[in-house]
Chains A and B, each alone.
Chain A
């Protein structure tokens, strides 16, 4: 019998520091065993439990796209004891992960439509996965618009990649920071306001929102104002998790478990769940 509680072995291949405070690090992991690599199939929006023996586990969204077959990418913010320890990892260290877990952004449904991606801060991880995936299957999708906000210019993650995307003409990247800053000639203002300014067309368009709860809370009404239907808006939820397989009860909201029924929900689904916000 397969045992989903037992982590698989991964090796840290590359580490990148994302922000000047060194509180955000991106890790590229490679599989230690070829067998695990073969069995590991995932989609943008799914997550993994990082498993540090002796410390415990923490869930993180997968930032790499299934089209990037060589590695799994995660970006981890330092907040608690597990993430603190993760920040001490060096290239070459081995760690365990369990996953992939949860559902994913409905990329099949999005086919043939336009997609607006709205993100904030370091919650951009699974959105990166989604963008890379769609760029790889570019002809399946219509216009792709990305609205990405951060508190300050240096707090965007994946900066190099974003500037590469900005050079392309098949994706519209709109960056915004909270307050004007020296050397920044892009947009300023909070994500909900900027979304209202940009006012993407609802015509055959899907929206994915992922960011801090406060951003989501204020962006959703803007989208409704712009006349996006509830079943065309998707977001990703977060709760404290342990088992990741719908048993331990921690991430239970309404009749759903975020770890197996989520983390991706449409606004239409969320409106039926008490406690979702």
Chain B
């Protein structure tokens, strides 16, 4: 895929009237960043890009208070990576988006860059220039220039990703690859499970004590679209609003349970976190349970019911007291 192909495709969709608006990524204001752009004329399509900096999951714009976007009569096109397409599928199965009204445009993803990893590579020095291709990344700063393989700096969520290309699409720019095997997808979760209970609690406490309760994780999440989030309910108020560790932990645990069987592990939450909390570990634990117990992988088929809204009568119930 080339950026030119991408722009031309979007342009023709707009000029042929197949869509009224395309949500995509444009160049960000800092090296190694991108920003969501809303393209409604063919001229604007020239600002579109796609590379390893396109880390936002754009499906989020179909939910939240912009749900109006999906309910309008507008025909909307959206650029998706593999994980983003799964979010769309989930939202379609949950009747938040009308499949007919959305044009899904797949783009080939090789993983998105975690800038914190890149900054780590150059010992915290400021990066002034960032270039990448499907294999490697080059960064320049005041007194350095460094090239390294893309795989060394992609987000954790991309490292174990086996569905890099859209699972559901109307158009694909380039060639969509078949999903790989997710046999070893949860090695990190299994590592953590091996620790003893005390150790796990201490690590969690350490990790989550940095939380500033800005809810960036929730707000960038396409699966988190309640009109009023449980943490915002104030009559009665369930959860304290201060960054106190038990309130914070309860917020994160419950949020994880609310997206159980609905999380596509895109990692948008983790990348949005200003405090760099490893949020995805909990999501991945839940996803692993959902896969192992109910055989369900979120957002992989339009006909699948979300796991937590479904059941089988003779299910494993080993956790119920005998």
A and B bind: yes
A204: CB under 8 A from chain B?
Answer: no
Q: Indicate with 1 or 0, residue by residue over A58-88, a CB within 8 angstroms of chain B CB atoms.
A: 0000000000000000000000110000000
Q: Give complex CA distance A61, B148 in Å.
A: 66
Q: In the docked arrangement, what's the CA distance between A81 and B234, Å?
A: 9
B235 adjacent to chain A (CB < 8 Å):
yes
CB nearest to A80 among chain B residues: B235
Enumerate chain B residues within 8 angstroms of A81, measured Cβ to Cβ. 234-236
CA of A80 to CA of B237, assembled, Å: 11
Nearest neighbor of A82 in chain B, beta-carbon distance: B235
A80 to B236, CA, bound (A): 9
Q: Mark B218-249, 1 if CB is under 8 A from A, else 0.
A: 00000000000000001110000000000000
- Chain B interface residue count: which class? under 10
Q: In the complex, A80 Cα to B234 Cα: how many Å?
A: 9
How many interface residues does chain A have, given as a range?
Answer: under 10
Chain A residue at smallest Cβ distance from B236: A81
Q: Which B residues are CB-close (under 8 A) to A80? A: 235
Closest-CB distance, A243 to chain B (whole angstroms)? 15
User: Which residues from A are CB-within-8-Å of B235?
Assistant: 80-81
Question: What is the CB-to-nearest-CB distance from A207 to chain B, in angstroms, rounded to a whole number?
Answer: 36
Complex CA–CA separation, A81 to B238 (angstroms) = 13
Nearest CB in chain A to that of B237: its residue: A81
Whole-angstrom CA separation of A81 from B237 in the bound complex: 10
Cα A81 to Cα B236 with chains together (Å): 7
CB B234 to nearest CB in A, in angstroms, measures 8
- The interface residues of chain A lying within 8 Å CB-to-CB of B236 are 81
The docked-state distance in angstroms from the alpha carbon of A199 to that of B236 is 46
Q: How far is the CA of A223 from the CA of B235 in the complex (A)?
A: 38
With A and B bound together, what is the CA distance between A97 and B234 in angstroms?
Answer: 22
Nearest-CB distance from A231 to chain B (Å)?
37
Bound CA span A81–B233, Å: 12
User: Nearest Cβ distance between residue A89 and chain B, in whole angstroms?
Assistant: 19
Residue of B nearest to A84 (CB): B235
Per-residue CB proximity of A14-27 to B under 8 Å, as 1/0? 00000000000000
**Cβ contacts under 8 Å, B234 to chain A:** 81
User: Considering the chains assembled together, what is the distance between the CA atoms of A81 and B235 in angstroms?
Assistant: 6
Q: How far is the CB of A84 from chain B (nearest CB, A)?
A: 9
What distance in Å separates the Cβ of B121 from its nearest Cβ neighbour in chain A?
41
Q: How far is the CB of A81 from chain B (nearest CB, A)?
A: 5
Give A79's nearest chain B residue, CB to CB: B235
Instruction: State the Cβ distance, B232 to closest chain A Cβ, in Å.
Output: 13
A157 to chain B, nearest CB (A): 24
Interface code A80-107, partner B: CB below 8 Å = 1, 0 otherwise?
A: 1100000000000000000000000000
Specify the chain B residue showing the minimal Cβ separation from A81. B235
A156 to B273: give the CA distance in the assembly, Å: 53
> In whole Å, how far is A212's beta carbon from the nearest beta carbon of chain B?
20
**What's the least CB distance linking B238 to chain A, in Å?**
12
Q: Taking the nearest CB of chain A, how far is it from the CB of B15, in angstroms?
A: 38
Top 4 A-B residue pairs of the complex, sorted by shortest distance between their CB atoms: A81-B235, A80-B235, A81-B236, A81-B234
Q: List 4 A-B contacts (CB under 8 A).
A: A80-B235, A81-B234, A81-B235, A81-B236
